Amino acid sequence: MPSMKNPPAARHPSRSRGGRRPVVAMCYVTCRDRAQARLLARTLLAERLVACVNLIAGMESLYWWQGRRCEAREVVLIAKTRRSLVVALTRRVVALHSYEVPCVMALDIQGGNPAYLAWVADETRPRPA
């Protein structure tokens, strides 16, 4: 997360065609441990599929799996990205994840700090090769 008082995105918001800002999405992913969460986070950042990732350790999951009730300690990964990158982000997580059916869910962000949302959009914009 930017620590600058006036991050570059606040001064130069990213805009898509037609002058509208891209829709920002937040993705929720569960991971078996901190090492897996860090690997996913670093990969998603390196590939510019996300602007920021938060890792939250100590989450307890209770769930059904293959007809059995299960309980597990997991790490939550919360990623901020553009809606247009959610499919690519999901494919990347599924390819790298140890779970047979990893939890990857996305929510469109309906509001928030305009400067922060512009920063997310700017950091995930397509870059020249």
Residue range 73-87: mean pLDDT, rounded: 98
Residue range 85-97: mean pLDDT, rounded: 98
Q: Which helix or strand (DSSP H or E) is residue 10 part of? A: helix 8-11
Percent of the chain scoring above 90 in pLDDT: 80
**Tokens at 7, concatenated:** 């991050």
Residue range 117-128: mean pLDDT, rounded: 93
Domain edges within the chain: 28-119
| CA 66 – CA 17 distance, rounded (Å) | 46
pLDDT band at 129 (very low <50, low <70, confident <90, very high): confident
pLDDT band at 20 (very low <50, low <70, confident <90, very high): confident
Fold held by 28-119: Alpha-Beta Plaits (3.30.70)
Q: At 99, is the secondary structure helix, strand, or coil?
A: coil
pLDDT averaged over every residue in the chain: 89
Question: Which pLDDT does position 16 carry in this prediction?
Answer: 47
Tell me how long the chain is.
Answer: 129
